[in-house]
Amino acid sequence: MTAPGDDESPASQGWRWPAEWEPHAATWLSWPHNLDTWPGCLDAAEAAFAEMVRALHPHEAVRINVGDAALEARARRALEAAGVDAAAGHGVHFHRIPTDDAWVRDHGPLFVVRERDGVRETALLDTGFDAWGGKYPPWDRDAGVPTAVARELGLPCLRVAGVLEGGAIDGNGAGTILTTEQCLLHANRGGIDRAEAEQRLARALGARHVVWLEGGIEGDDTDGHVDDVARFVSPDTVVVEAADDDAHPDAPALRSAEARLRAARDADGRPLRVETLPVPPPVRGPDGAMLPASYANFYLANEVCLVPTFAAPAEDERALATLEALLPGRELVGIDARTLVVGLGAVHCLTQQQPA
């Protein structure tokens, strides 16, 4: 693994962070096993993971991190119960990569691509991981996932400065990135200012323009990840959650996000097309605390979009219909995320795309 200086940054070497809707070679998951994350409901979380694999594996390979034989056996049982054929050659691959938890969007690598001499190349970025500012020790196994994935795939792994979780950013593949001030400028993320954050995004991912939103939603323990607020669905179109009820706990943050997006431009100076998603009714955990339930936490895979749902028929239907209209030709699959959000994340937080 290399740690490039400014003149040898991934972007200066021609690497680009693709948009999520660009073709995938695979989706990576880290199988759930942490009882502190899903207390009393780990079996239900595994069943939700199996539903995600069932929706994904007809369209692309699914690669699953399991630390040992026992966890692989649990995963295989859950997949079999969901009707997924995980036998060799059927598109589901297990990797003996140990993890502390399941949030591969944040502890996994970011994949970048470049075209050189007519050949498309892929590399991995190790963007560092410290459990969202040191909140949940230990995290050493999670922090080792990018280099382990690189070894499994035989691809180069480039270390970039600082700490950057995948859920903290969203991109259009053409140089525009969404993020939040609450997360990237937080004291527990290094206490950097906006200029330094933008320089790091430019060096690592080729960002030419950053659209800064204010913050995240209630119940989010990541200090405001953008993937619960707003997402690109095409190079010029962003969807943002919008609360119909001003009394909803997330209404102020979402009003601010929508206003900033409607005033924003992309890296080429063009206004963004802004569409809205509903918010689900408040979802609360066993202790009554607000959980980070969001339809924006969807995942775009080959020919399919996995959308978290919350047993809220009207809102679920509106969210699925909105995304279906914005994603022509892509199958929309609802994933019941009520158990997943007990762990304080959902579908996007639990997946990471490997570009083709």
Residue 44 pLDDT > 90, yes or no?
A: yes
Residue 281 pLDDT > 90, yes or no?
A: yes
| Closest CA relative to residue 297, chosen from 250, 263, 262, 260 | 250
Q: Band of the pLDDT at 2, cuts 50, 70, 90? A: very low
| Residue tagged active-site, from 157, 183, 305, 349 | 349
The residue range of the domain holding 30 is: 6-351
Q: What's 85's domain CATH number?
A: 3.75.10.10
Residue 256 belongs to some domain of the structure? yes
Q: Say what the pLDDT of residue 15 is.
A: 97
Give whole-number Cα distances, 159 to 6, 17, 323, in Å.
Answer: 12, 15, 35
Active-site annotation holds for 349:
yes
| Span 215-244, pLDDT tens digits | 999 999 999 999 999 999 999 999 999 999
Q: Band of the pLDDT at 5, cuts 50, 70, 90? A: very low
Q: Residue 102, Cα to own-chain centre: how many angstroms?
A: 12
Residue 139 belongs to some domain of the structure? yes
| Span 178-228, pLDDT tens digits | 999 999 999 999 999 999 999 999 999 999 999 999 999 999 999 999 999
Residue 4 pLDDT > 50, yes or no?
A: no
Residue 163 belongs to some domain of the structure? yes
Q: Say what the pLDDT of residue 88 is.
A: 81
Share of the chain above pLDDT 70, in %: 98
| Span 115-131, pLDDT tens digits | 999 999 999 999 999 99
Residue 356 belongs to some domain of the structure? no
The encoded tokens of residue 270 equal: 């063009």
| Span 294-351, pLDDT tens digits | 999 999 999 999 999 999 999 999 999 999 999 999 999 999 999 999 999 999 999 9
CA gap 201, 196 in Å, rounded: 9
CA gap 179, 181 in Å, rounded: 7
Count of helix runs (H) and strand runs (E) in the chain: 10, 16
| Secondary structure E strands in the chain | 24-30, 61-65, 92-95, 110-116, 119-126, 157-159, 170-171, 176-180, 209-213, 230-234, 237-241, 273-277, 299-301, 304-309, 331-336, 352-355
How many domains does the chain fold into?
1
| Span 55-101, pLDDT tens digits | 999 999 999 999 999 999 999 999 999 999 998 888 999 999 999 99
Question: How many CB atoms sit inside 10 A of residue 83's CB?
Answer: 9
For 273, phi then psi, to 5°, come to: -85, 125
Separation of first and last alpha carbons in the chain: 22
Question: Residue 176: helix, strand or coil by DSSP?
Answer: strand
Residue 1 belongs to some domain of the structure? no
Residue 278 belongs to some domain of the structure? yes
CA gap 282, 252 in Å, rounded: 14
